[in-house]
Amino acid sequence: MKEKKVRQKSARNISMYAVYVALAFIFSYIESLFPISVGIPGVKPGFANIVIVYIIYTSGRPSSVLTVTLLRTVLLACTFGNLSTLLYSVCGGLLSASVMFILYKTNLFSVFGVSIAGGVTHNAGQLAVAALILDTKELIYYYPILLITGMTAGFAVGYIANICIKRIRRPSGMISNNNN
């Protein structure tokens, strides 16, 4: 029964994905207009993560989370970046989304903890890819500072996502498990 329902709703899910991807894309774009230059790559609020956290909590399905993450990062890199930025952002995005999803499933953390973990692992993924591509292990020197900025960003994202999850009416098409 449930399988059938899922299939029937797939068209609506696809359009919801499109809305989510567009939203995340716009967040990233606006963010890129106000670059924060502290002399370290990777320091940014990551407001696109609000969308990802929101999807994790409202749909609760790994496929939705990964689809939107992948589409967002690929589209963004195609529009504003190049092949190497694509690698950084895909690895950072996928790692962060997976970690957030797993932590959400364990139910050990609130939205804040989940999104902080997401912010921190996003930086870790990007830095790891950068260190591999550039073959510069010294990049690890950046990580302590990125931990703090990633955590701060994750906290802000968690705060906003928390409000969104509480206030925005669930799209009726998404199969949601309202256990939060």
How would you write 81-145 as a 3-class SS string?
Answer: CCHHHHHHHHHHHHHHHHHHHHHHHHCCCCHHHHHHHHHHHHHHHHHHHHHHHHCCHHHHHHHHH
**Closer residue to other proteins in complex, CB, 5/166:** 166
Spatial separation of the C-alpha atoms in residues 127 and 30, rounded to whole Å: 23
Contact (CB, 8 A) for 101 and 62: yes
| Smallest separation, CB 161 to other proteins (Å) | 13
Of 22, 74, 151, 165, the residue at the interface with other proteins (CB under 8 A) is 151
Should residue 179 be labelled a site residue for other proteins when binding is judged by CB under 8 A? no
Is there binding between residue 138 and other proteins (CB under 8 A)? Answer: yes
- CA nearest to 55, candidates 180, 172, 174: 174
Of positions 26, 110, 168, 177, contacts other proteins by CB under 8 A = 110
Q: Quick one: which segment of 61-69, 71-79, 132-140, 168-176 binds other proteins (CB under 8 A)?
A: 132-140
DSSP code, position 77 = H
Residues that bind other proteins (CB under 8 A): 35, 37-41, 82, 84-85, 88, 108-110, 112-113, 116-117, 120, 130, 133-136, 138-139, 141-145, 147-148, 151, 155
